[in-house]
Amino acid sequence: MTVEDAPRDTLAQAYLHKVHSHPGVYCIALNRPKSKNAISVQLLNVLIFYSSSPGAFCSGADLIERQSMADDQVREFLSNIRDIFNQIDSLPFPTIAAIDGPALGGGLELALTCDFRIAASDVTRISFPEVRLGIIPGAGGTQRAPRLIGMAKAKELIFTGRVLTARDAKDLGLVDYVASSSSTAFERALELAKEMSWSAPLALRAAKNAMSRSLDTPLDEALNHERACYEPLLSTKDRVEALVAFREKRRPVFVGE
């Protein structure tokens, strides 16, 4: 499936659609091509995996809209977007950001809330430009970037406002995969999503939950949390189905129960 195959609502600033060729995989597309998918107030309730426009992702805050906003409106906007990004970060199922174009400021912060980031090989603008605009990343960038790439690298990236290519971002650890030159980031994301879609939904969620405390919790406590995530799976229909399918030498059919 390509981006062009996806159904679209040309009036919506973002829309959800199912990938029929990949059971269990859904996408939310940014749909503001004229503003390069700058984050508008109306985009606050969406999880974005890719842009509906070829060669795009998310260029951060809509600076044209921002100029017309009073200070209190800016504060409210930032508070709302932080809350939304935190909710995305806490989603129980895997999330992938397919970066087929510039990921700047809030756009990069959005990508950092996802479990995986995939960039197209021709992407040349990935950055936190805020300090050059007299502000700082205000939607989690100063906190998520150090956790992902380390404090020193994150400081350098934010203090300089340096612009990265896809491969620069991959080398830095900011991006997990760079798509081949013959593929878009969205297509590469679909490949990864397809691999995960064969897994039991409840197990995927339990695994993500178990790993969520692995880096900031003492090992003994984290292992107890892992066990707590494991236990409920023992009585699920999907676990029984997996055992039966293994015995019958077929692919299991999971129902999320």
Active-site residues: which are they?
A: 61, 106, 109, 130
120 touches 184 (CB < 8 A): yes
Rg (CA), the chain: 19
204 touches 254 (CB < 8 A): no
What's the rounded Cα separation, in Å, for the pair 125 and 110?
15
Cα diameter, the chain:
64
Residue 46, both tokens: 């969406």
56 touches 30 (CB < 8 A): yes
DSSP 8-state code for residue 12? -
What's the rounded Cα separation, in Å, for the pair 179 and 100?
9
Kind and range of the H or E run holding 163? none
Please state whether 161 falls in left (phi above 0), alpha (psi between -120 and 50) or beta. Answer: left
Q: Decide the pairing of beta strands 103-104 and 96-99.
A: unpaired
Query: How many other C-beta atoms lie within 10 A of the C-beta of residue 193?
Result: 21
